[in-house]
Amino acid sequence: MVHEGNDSMMRKRVARLLIAIGCLLFASPGRSEVLEEPIALVGNRVILRSEWEAQTALFAMQTKRDLTNPAVRDSLGPMMLDQLINDQLILIVAERDTTLKIDASAIDAALEDHIADMRRRFSSEDDFRAALLREGLSERDLRVRFRRDVENQLLKQRLIQKKLAEVNVSNGEVREFYNSFKDSLPAQPAAIKLSHILLTVEVTPGTIEGVRTKITQVLAEVENGLDFAEAAKKYSQDPTAGAGGDLGWLSKGDLVGAFEDAAFQLMTPGQLSGVVRTDIGLHLIQCMERERDRVRVRHIFMSLAPTAADTAAVTARADSVAGAVRAGGDFCALAQANSKDEESQKNCGELGWYPIEEMFPEFKTALESSVAGDIVGPVKTQFGWHVLRVLDRRTRRTLDIDEDWDRLKDIARQDKTNQVVNSWLADIRQDTYVEVRPLAGSVTLDGTGR
């Protein structure tokens, strides 16, 4: 963790968390740490075994591959290592391109999406927080660990977009592609076109005020002589509570928003912040040490989590909105007035087409027998309550060059894009030192040789 001043340790813990997300156990009996073993060099960059294992675990989970099957493991392992090498090759070129700029707001937004995606992979918020606690991590630790990774990912995306901006396919190329691959092209999946109104469980002003009162009382105790570290152990809800709230040394950019602003306003050891609100809760911060561009702080954290009353209120509201739609209310107007999905809200709640097999299980069950025009719900997911309107449905069928011209053009362009990228990567690789290090025995995902 950060307060240990040990990035390697945090990488191990985050790797274990990523593996836990996939419900996969790579550790053999008695093995207590993810191996920090370099398995490849790309230029002067190191790819660690723990990174490879974690990425392979996530890919296996996302693609529903069984890593307990040796054949699957042996095929995925080299493929994922090659992908990690390619990522580093692209990043090397991207960092040399001075025309590529990523602003802080884009990084912040992508980072929040990344953390939210991790959270969604757990069955509940409590399970997510329990997994963090088991690894001695906080959400702040995840943001510190992933911020640079997210920035690098955005940089790579910008470079690839720039490289592929001129890749187009002619009508003749689309026909040639279709005639060559029509027997192996994916079928048009069964799909459903939806609009929704999303209502989320939000912390009410009363709940916020209650938490603010509690943390203000703690601040008063500290100002009246209670040792801050002891107060953190007694009151803080952060995993760092046992260490007196010690967050270690922070540099600008390690954190986002109000917490970082408040931390860097503290100039002298012992100095206290006021109550600081962030997206996840309320904090008290104390300066421990200060250097020119770094500060070491400890904090006390209290979560702003919705109460049972908050949940009941949004449930009732979702029922009310669904009732209004069924009574003939204008779905578009109700979506624009009530939905918390900012993207679809602008378009009357429309979500577009979704393959049925890729929908949330809750949607799939609720919509199983629905037809165009039906109002379904409220349906509860990890995002909140959804009032759904079925706009259209289509059955699974083979692709037709006339009916599915736009999709076939996209597939043909993607195929051409892949060829361009592969050729480009081969050129980069010729100019870059790449070494894949041999391991003791065969490369396996349990960290042992065979």
Tokens at residue 134, please? 């088991």
Q: What is the pLDDT of residue 134?
A: 64
Inter-axis angle of helices 405-430 and 70-96, nearest 10: 70
* 217, 299: one domain: yes
Domain count of the chain? 3
Where residue 27 sits, what CATH number does that domain have?
1.10.4030.10
**3-state helix/strand/coil string of 206-237:** HHHHHHHHHHHHHHHHHHCCCCHHHHHHHHCC
| Burial tier of 128 (Cβ tally within 10 Å: 0-12, 13-18, 19+) | buried
* 166, 148: one domain: yes
Q: Contact, 441 vs 450, CB < 8 A?
A: yes
Q: What is the pLDDT of residues 325-364, one digit of tens each?
A: 999 999 999 999 999 988 888 889 999 888 888 888 899 9
Residues paired with residue 272 on neighbouring β-strands, in sequence order: 286
Residues 6+ apart with CB under 8 A from 274: 219, 262, 284
* 322, 286: one domain: no
* 24, 141: one domain: yes
* 78, 161: one domain: yes
Element (H, E) at 40: strand 38-42
Question: Does residue 20 lie in a domain region?
Answer: yes
* 44, 123: one domain: yes
Distance CA 266, CA 268 (A): 6
Where residue 384 sits, what CATH number does that domain have?
3.10.50.40
Question: Does residue 150 lie in a domain region?
Answer: yes
Distance CA 113, CA 118 (A): 9
Q: What is the pLDDT of residue 136?
A: 65
Q: Contact, 159 vs 90, CB < 8 A?
A: yes
Q: Contact, 231 vs 218, CB < 8 A?
A: yes
**pTM for the full predicted model:** 0.56
Q: What is the pLDDT of residues 210-241, one digit of tens each?
A: 999 999 999 999 999 999 999 999 999 888 88
Distance CA 238, CA 302 (A): 8
Question: Does residue 100 lie in a domain region?
Answer: yes
* 24, 92: one domain: yes
Q: Contact, 247 vs 232, CB < 8 A?
A: no
- Its domain, for residue 160, covers 2-170+430-436
Question: Does residue 444 lie in a domain region?
Answer: no
Strand order in the sheet with 246-251: 246-251, 294-303, 281-290, 276-277
Report the amino acid identity of residue 105.
Answer: S
Question: Does residue 246 lie in a domain region?
Answer: yes
- What backbone phi and psi angles, to 5 degrees, belong to 444? -130, 160
* 295, 324: one domain: no
**Given CA atoms 239, 51, 62, 445 in this order, what sign does their dihedral have?**
negative
The last residue of a domain, from among 277, 303, 329: 303
* 41, 104: one domain: yes
The last residue of a domain, from among 303, 320, 335: 303
Question: Does residue 43 lie in a domain region?
Answer: yes
Q: Which residues of the chain have pLDDT under 70?
A: 1-36, 62, 121, 123-124, 126, 133-137, 253-256, 438-450
